Chain A
Amino acid sequence: NAGVTQTPKFRVLKTGQSMTLLCAQDMNHEYMYWYRQDPGMGLRLIHYSVGEGTTAKGEVPDGYNVSRLKKQNFLLGLESAAPSQTSVYFCASTQQGATEAFFGQGTRLTVV
């Protein structure tokens, strides 16, 4: 049971390049989330999904897009990377109810 798996773990992009971060969970969770972690700011929600085919904006959605074509996968896209998107990105999933969220190990992205 792998839990929540993120790929890649590290990436360096040039300003203006695009990329997709993949999150996969094997726990059959309905809800999935993308957060970014920046020093002194904790984790902030970028986008989330409450089920296959649904997505919604979180606190800091600008510059990102997401898709949830399959229940187990949640993709985060950067169409034109900017240095302000340098961060550590975490994916999480959970089930409806009074349960905790499970987090991936993170993707460290640097935009130069």
Chain B
Amino acid sequence: AQSVAQPEDQVNVAEGNPLTVKCTYSVSGNPYLFWYVQYPNRGLQFLLKYITGDNLVKGSYGFEAEFNKSQTSFHLKKPSALVSDSALYFCAVRESFQKLVFGTGTRLLVSP
């Protein structure tokens, strides 16, 4: 079965500093990986995806993610954090019929 793990419940970073939100995956075959963000009392919004090709994927709002096959990781990154980036972030892997298997989520807090 496909799975992803988000080892950190919360990540704290100061505004202007780089941020990383970690995700590791366990899949059979080639992984289709996604990052979604959830703002308070809202649904999930798509940030970026890795299907194939370049290991560095660029997404919405200045976020990017690095796919690392040897480390089975797909970490989300941003060079300079904003207070408005504070939210709940989910890593997910796609299964058959495009079902998503989500990690447990990482809360990002960016302090002014």
Contact = CB atoms under 8 A, between A and B. Distances in A.
A50 interface: yes
A105 B46 contact: no
A53 to B, nearest CB: 15
B25 to A, nearest CB: 14
Interface string A20-59: 0000000000010101000011111100101000001010
Interface string B80-105: 00000000001000000111111111
Contacts of B42: 105-106
B49 interface: yes
| Chain B interface residue number, banded | 20 to 34
Interface stretch (A62-70, A75-83, A90-98): A90-98
A100 B35 CA distance: 10
A40 B51 CA distance: 27
A45 B100 contact: yes
Given A90-B43, A104-B43, A96 B100 contact: no
Contacts of A31: 97-98
28 contacts: A4-B43, A31-B97, A31-B98, A33-B99, A35-B100, A35-B102, A40-B9, A42-B103, A42-B104, A42-B105, A43-B90, A44-B102, A45-B99, A58-B99, A90-B44, A94-B98, A98-B32, A98-B49, A98-B51, A100-B34, A101-B46, A101-B98, A101-B100, A102-B46, A103-B44, A105-B42, A106-B41, A106-B42
